[in-house]
Amino acid sequence: MKRTTITALAVLSAGAVLSAGLTPAFASSTKRAPQVTTIVWASGTISGNGLRKDMVSQFEKLHPNIHVTITQEATNTDTTRAQLTTQISGGATTPDVFMGDVIWPGQFGSEHLALPLSQHMPKSFFSRFAPGLVAGASYKGVVYAAPFFQDSGFLYYRKDLLAKAHLPVPRTWQQLKSDSLVLQHKHMVKYGFVWQGASYEGLTCDWMEYLTDAGGQVFNSAGKAVMNSPQAVKALTFMRSLITSGVTPKAVITMQEPQAMNAFNDGQAAFLRNWDYAWTNSQTKGQSTVIGKVGVVPLPTFAGNAGTGYATIGGWDLYVNPHSKHLQADLTFINWMTGVQAQTILATKASEIPTNAAVQSNPRVRKLNPVLSIVSKTHLIARPSQTPKYAAVSQAIYSNINAALAGQTSIKQALQTANSQISQAMSSSGL
């Protein structure tokens, strides 16, 4: 594993800790004699290794008594998860802090692989994040991760086509469907709307947006699977209708993010559901034929609902190893990395979506690209990952939803089967 070392000197003062908003008990432990504190941060690449070095360098200028060593995580998320699970469950004290997927809190919390941050950080620390991000970082009411940078679903649209056809940007799913049919009937575009319909994790993300907007849930407040509800029927019926109406191509059942994005960038579709990076991709020479013709807005909602629709949370969080010997420095590092200075660096130099609400609302950040200007308007929804059996839950969702989209099973049967499989997965874990 590649390592990059950044050197600094000694420990925080009590005043510095208190100014960071950490607990008094934490602050009192800093009255010891200054000494060099070294922490290891396991991190995935953020726009190249250079940005991580820059961020750590800025942190060390403010906290010169903390030495940070960066270790490179695997490029495959599941590989990283497996490696960290093995290391931490074996009692390893490093890495002290690690970057992890937003869907990990259920597993890492239940298996004691991450420190319960809400037991060590004040409530004021979590107020810097949107409630949806905090909920997504929690397991059984305990917050196990600090949101680092986020992602979510957005609706990309061909503003030139809508202008030519004198159509408004759709605010509802029904309007998106009708607008698509108008554009297609006028032979202005081949497809109306492309998205992620393949049998994989991406379909779970898309499904959560429709399901939540329809008023449904995967689990109720008691933790019981309730995905065979009337609301779920409404959501899946609409998704299937996109295909049967011709608005969405039948091939959507094999589309992941790249295939959907390529269809849109090639000018074949009027609308696209994708993550934040799709904006930059749509404006890149050699990758897109629709440069300068694209707009982006929050996802639509079903007719009759107020505001915008829901967007599934993606992105990465910061976790603390519960075996770390340097809790004081770990929490200080996380506090800074999710603070205004570090989050501004992420937004301006890496074009990542900051999790810090104050940075999201900064006019200088918002004007960088259209995605950053609307992210605060999105309604965030977490995947049903607040369970150590999330992998099985997600598979039950995407495999059965895909079967219904393909017409291989009825909508009601798909939902009943999914619900049964989810219940079985949860009961096998004793939950």
In whole angstroms, what is the distance from residue 76 CA to residue 361 CA?
32
pLDDT for the residue 371? 93
Low-confidence ranges of the chain (pLDDT < 70): 1-34, 48-49, 429-431
- Quick check: 275 and 153 in contact, CB under 8 A? yes
Residue 384 C-alpha from the chain's centroid: 12
In whole angstroms, what is the distance from residue 7 CA to residue 93 CA?
20
147 and 166 in a single domain? The answer is no
CATH of the domain at 212: 3.40.190.10
Cβ neighbors of 125 (< 8 A, separation 6 or more) are 21, 22, 146, 335
148 and 46 in a single domain? The answer is yes
264 and 388 in a single domain? The answer is yes
pLDDT for the residue 403? 98
In whole angstroms, what is the distance from residue 73 CA to residue 87 CA?
13
188 and 201 in a single domain? The answer is yes
Domain containing 361: what range? 3-152+315-381
Give the C-alpha distances (Å, rounded to integers) separating 293 from 32, 251, 266, 404: 60, 25, 12, 34
398 and 364 in a single domain? The answer is no
Among the candidates 343, 366, 381, a domain finishes at: 381
Identify the sign of the CA torsion 119, 124, 129, 131.
positive
Task: Identify which of 150, 95, 144, 111 has the alpha carbon closest to the alpha carbon of residue 330.
Answer: 95
In whole angstroms, what is the distance from residue 233 CA to residue 412 CA?
7
173 and 54 in a single domain? The answer is no
Distance between first and last Cα of the chain: 36
Residue 283 C-alpha from the chain's centroid: 22
Q: What are the backbone angles phi and psi of residue 169, rounded to the nearest 5°? A: -65, 125
Cβ neighbors of 178 (< 8 A, separation 6 or more) are none
116 and 223 in a single domain? The answer is no
pLDDT for the residue 11? 30
346 and 306 in a single domain? The answer is no
Query: Tell me, what amino acid is at 410?
Result: S
What is the H or E stretch that residue 235 is in?
Answer: helix 230-244
The two beta strands, 142-143 and 379-381, are unpaired
Q: Read off the tokens for 18.
A: 């208190």
Task: Identify which of 181, 132, 101, 103 has the alpha carbon closest to the alpha carbon of residue 308.
Answer: 132
219 and 147 in a single domain? The answer is no
Query: What stretches of 62-212 adopt beta strand conformation (E)?
Result: 66-72, 97-101, 138-139, 142-143, 146-152, 154-158, 191-194
CA angle centred on 422, ends 205 and 431, rounded to 5°: 115
- Quick check: 137 and 317 in contact, CB under 8 A? yes
pLDDT in tens, 131-172: 999 999 999 999 999 999 999 999 999 999 999 999 999 999
29 and 136 in a single domain? The answer is yes
Provide the domain count of the chain. Answer: 2
Residue 266, classed as helix, strand or coil, is coil
Q: What are the backbone angles phi and psi of residue 311, rounded to the nearest 5°? A: -125, 125
pLDDT for the residue 431? 52
Task: Output the pTM of the full model.
Answer: 0.85
In whole angstroms, what is the distance from residue 178 CA to residue 174 CA?
6
pLDDT for the residue 5? 31
11 and 93 in a single domain? The answer is yes
Task: Identify which of 11, 21, 18 has the alpha carbon closest to the alpha carbon of residue 356.
Answer: 21
CA angle centred on 232, ends 136 and 303, rounded to 5°: 90
pLDDT for the residue 289? 98
146 and 37 in a single domain? The answer is yes
In whole angstroms, what is the distance from residue 431 CA to residue 109 CA?
14
Give the torsion through C-alpha atoms of 12, 17, 18, 20, to 10 deg.
140
Residue 292, classed as helix, strand or coil, is coil
pLDDT for the residue 24? 37
